[in-house]
Amino acid sequence: MLNRGPAMIFRCLAVMLSIYVVAGAAQTHAQEALVTYKSLAPRVALDLAQAALADCQQRGYQVAVAVVDRSGVVQVVLRDRYAGPHTPATASGKAWTAATFRNSTSGLFAISQPGMMQAGIRNLPGAVIIGGGLIVESGGLLVGAVGVSGAPGGDADEACAKAGIEAVQGKLDF
């Protein structure tokens, strides 16, 4: 018969505990090595852009609309037939700026006036600091951004962008 004294039981428990600690540490390390995030589905990005374009058309504006993912990479660009040739690049720039700074471009405009601490962001390559770029969120998390260019002023561009977001918000909230 085997002798299983207290020392032997203690050693077995210590070995089992060590195995659990090592396995748990490996699992924690694996979790830290990977990141999970939400991103706009292409169909939702297209729906958003189409809704923003339609809103501007109803207001009588010829615009371009761009939707980017959370990293600022373009997913969709739409340009109305008479929108200026500069509008696709400007809309994309507004969307990129909103996504990468995680703020509306009108908000960035307000905090980056000459003489203010953040004035330097106006000089960054690719940054478009005029109204018309809005972030898109789902459950409080950034999933993308939309930019509109071509309406008579940043406020009008932003109103169309907001209409596009509102049109798809039900698909984003879950």
CB 147 within 8 A of CB 92: yes
Here the tokens at position 58 are 């109803």
Spatial distance between the Cα atoms of 34 and 39, rounded to a whole number of angstroms: 16
Per-residue pLDDT band for 36 (boundaries 50, 70, 90) equals confident
Predicted pLDDT of residue 156: 98
Here the tokens at position 126 are 């690719």
Average pLDDT over residues 151-172: 96
Predicted pLDDT of residue 21: 67
| pLDDT tens for each residue of 46-79 | 999 999 999 999 999 999 999 999 999 999 999 9
Here the tokens at position 12 are 């077995």
Predicted pLDDT of residue 35: 84
Quickly count: other Cβ atoms within 10 Å of residue 40's Cβ.
25
CB 60 within 8 A of CB 80: no
Average pLDDT over residues 36-43: 90
CB neighbour list of residue 103: distance below 8 Å, 6 or more residues apart:
135
CB neighbour list of residue 15: distance below 8 Å, 6 or more residues apart:
none
pLDDT at position 5 over 70 = no
| pLDDT tens for each residue of 97-113 | 999 999 999 999 999 99
Average pLDDT over residues 127-156: 96
Q: Which DSSP category does 111 fall into?
A: H
CB neighbour list of residue 148: distance below 8 Å, 6 or more residues apart:
52, 56, 63, 64, 65, 91, 94, 132, 133, 157, 158, 160, 161, 164
